[in-house]
Amino acid sequence: DVKVTQSSRYLVKRTGEKVFLECVQDMDHENMFWYRQDPGLGLRLIYFSYDVKMKEKGDIPEGYSVSREKKERFSLILESASTNQTSMYLCASSPGPLNRWDTEAFFGQGTRLTVV
């Protein structure tokens, strides 16, 4: 079974703190993604990476950065956390492009981040 593991289920951070959310996948997938999930808005793509050291902005990259130093690990960084970044963060991985017929995205269990 594919496993996508996020390092924390729950986090509480203070405004202005630098926050790291870690994600590890064990299936040698090329692609990794970070989404945030908010009520009424669904899942929105923050950043994705299709290879080590490669990154692409998603729909809402402002206030975030990412790091992919190793294939299995994709980190989301909040440089200076703000209260509007309180959300559920979901990491996903896939073996290939998401619009390919035999490709699916596998999600982690999510990290619920609260910024106070």
Partner 1 sequence: GESVGLHLPTLSVQEGDNSIINCAYSNSASDYFIWYKQESGKGPQFIIDIRSNMDKRQGQRVTVLLNKTVKHLSLQIAATQPGDSAVYFCAETGTGFQKLVFGTGTRLLVSP
Give contact residues for partner 1 (rule: CB under 8 A): 4, 31, 33, 35, 40-45, 48, 50, 56, 58, 90, 92, 97-101, 104-110
Q: Which is nearer to partner 1, 90 or 113 (CB)?
A: 90
Question: With respect to partner 1, which residue has the nearer C-beta, 14 or 37?
Answer: 37
Residue 16 or 97: which CB sits closer to partner 1?
A: 97
Per-residue H/E/C for the chain: CCCEEECCCEEEECCCCCEEEEEEECCCCCEEEEEEEECCCEEEEEEEECCCCCCEECCCCCCEEEEEEECCEEEEEECCCCHHHCEEEEEEEECCCCCCCCCCCEECCCEEEEEC
Rounded to a whole number of angstroms, the minimum distance from the CB of residue 16 to partner 1 is 28
Strand partners, 111: 89
Nearer to partner 1, 15 or 23 (CB): 23
Least distance (Å) from partner 1 to the CB of residue 31? 7
User: Least separation, in Å, of the C-beta of 45 and partner 1?
Assistant: 7
Minimum CB distance to partner 1, residue 41 (Å): 7
Query: What one-letter code names the amino acid at 15?
Result: T
